[in-house]
Structure 1
Amino acid sequence: MPRPIRRCLLLLLLLAATPAPAEDTVMLDAVRDFLTAEAAPLGDEVSVTLYPPAAHFPTCQQPAPFLRNTSRAPLGRLSVGIRCGGDDARTRYLQAEVSVIGRYPVTAHAIAAGAVLTRDDLEQRRGELDRLPRRALRSVEAIVGQQARRSLAAGRVIQAHQLRAPRLVERGDRVTLEAKGQGFRIMRQAEALGSGGRGEEIRVRLDDRRILEGRIIGPRRLAVTG
């Protein structure tokens, strides 16, 4: 390897090994403790790697870390915000990577399309949760009772888009349409013009040919929504 390249590599290694300034240690420790606590319920082994910004900022007094995106689990590469107290009230951000070892469900055997999953259809594995697909379901409770949209092979992680609520109404079904109010309840028979599961809205046709929308509340039962 040419000497100039060797010198550049050595310089990069020395820079990477340079410890964070002492005034940054409190902030970094606060972020590490925060992420460890946030990820602890996900598994039994948590590892946090921080990537401090290259630029040097004034000391962050009373650092209060927070997650920028609270809609996703604190796994993998993410951005962490730090609110500083004292005279420096600005908000800072740094990159971090969280790795968690824990248990997650996979299919115990092949699942046919349309099957409603039970606990017997699942088995537990242990591994790196941050390596799972982004939409992987890590809770057995989130899977049991759901219907497979398509066939699933044995030993596969189940993702949210592969499941749906069980169909309670099929297109063409004769359904009961309910309308309730203060002191009254009306029930009419209708024909379903769509299919769906609990909570979904579909159109129905009354015997007088009027079209209404209903929300599915049970097997072949809908509540009027408009």
Structure 2
Amino acid sequence: MALLIVLCLLRTDLAQANTDYIQEIESQVRTAALVDLAAENSDTEVDLFINPINPSLSLARCTTPLDIRFPYKSNQRLTARVSCGGSKPWSIFVTARVRLWKQVVVAARPITRGTQLTPNILTLSRVDTTNRGADYFTEIGQVSGQKAKRSIGSDQPILMHDLEPALLINRGDKIVLEANRGGVQIRVSAIALEAGSLGEQIKVENLQSKREVYAEVSAAGRATIK
């Protein structure tokens, strides 16, 4: 009877030791994964959820440092290959779920379609970017001045496909038409016959000569003949 009790206690101690070692392995995987993910995702907070190692595995405590590598990684999950090269070698795979958080530009209030974005209606907020790719913005200056292609709810991230360049010239606007001839800068008044954003070619009418020409929108109310 006494021997049976001793054997039961020994088995319990071994099971507890194995559980403790598995938790150590999970902790080492977490640390290595966070370092690896942080190096690839600057200015990003990383949440990592390790899927528990099967407690029925009996893993001999490694006599050398564990070799932890990541054969598969994505923005949503990763797989770690943990290897022991000691006197009793073994190797297992550990999986984990990943969430990435970043300070990105969001709407400070509801924005209606066609609104030109200005700093007072934008702000930065911590957002889950795990499944967003790279179509968000991290600086308000990157989107200020552009126009909303659709309505955007309050606190919603501003995404690339939400925007279009704002019109700097509207059809019918009286504008300054500029040209450089032999090093001489010429400026005349003109009427825009088309609307245009920065860099677009639009048709304008020179009010002095009454000629219609194409010019490139260079600023609000200005176009340049190239």
Q: State the TM-score, normalizing by the size of structure 2.
A: 0.54
Q: Deviation at 1:211? A: 3.1
Q: Deviation at 1:99? A: 5.1
2:180 counterpart of 1:180? yes
Q: Deviation at 1:155? A: 2.5
Q: Deviation at 1:46? A: 7.4
Name the count of aligned residue pairs: 153
2:216 corresponds to which residue? 215
Distance in 2 of aligned mates of 1:165 and 1:143: 9
Gap regions ≥5 residues in structure 1: 1-28, 53-73, 78-96
Is the deviation greater in 146-155 or in 166-175?
Answer: 146-155
SS at match of 2:120: helix
Q: Deviation at 1:187? A: 1.9
Q: Deviation at 1:218? A: 2.2
SS at match of 1:141: helix
Aligned counterparts, 1:166-177, within 5 A: 166-177=166-177
Q: Deviation at 1:154? A: 1.8
2:127 counterpart of 1:106? no
2:221 counterpart of 1:224? no
1:105·1:157 contact (CA, 8 Å) conserved in 2? yes
Distance 1:125 1:212, change over 3 A: same
Give % identity: 27
2:123·2:140 contact (CA, 8 Å) conserved in 1? no
Q: Deviation at 1:181? A: 4.2
> 1:166 corresponds to which letter in structure 2?
A
SS at match of 2:42: helix
2:163 corresponds to which residue? 163
Question: RMSD of the alignment, in Å?
Answer: 3.3
2:59 counterpart of 1:38? no
Distance 1:49 1:169, change over 3 A: farther
Q: Deviation at 1:200? A: 2.5
Distance in 2 of aligned mates of 1:100 and 1:107: 20
1:145 corresponds to which residue? 145
Distance in 2 of aligned mates of 1:50 and 1:98: 15
> 1:167 corresponds to which letter in structure 2?
L
> 2:196 corresponds to which letter in structure 1?
G
Gap regions ≥5 residues in structure 2: 1-31, 49-68, 78-96
> 2:195 corresponds to which letter in structure 1?
S
Distance in 1 of aligned mates of 2:213 and 2:220: 18
> 2:193 corresponds to which letter in structure 1?
L
> 2:141 corresponds to which letter in structure 1?
E
1:133·1:159 contact (CA, 8 Å) conserved in 2? no
Distance in 1 of aligned mates of 2:204 and 2:98: 49
Equivalent in 51, 60, 79 of residue 72 of structure 2: 51
Q: Deviations over 1:143-167 (max 9, x none)?
A: 2232223332222221223223332
Q: Deviation at 1:36? A: 4.2
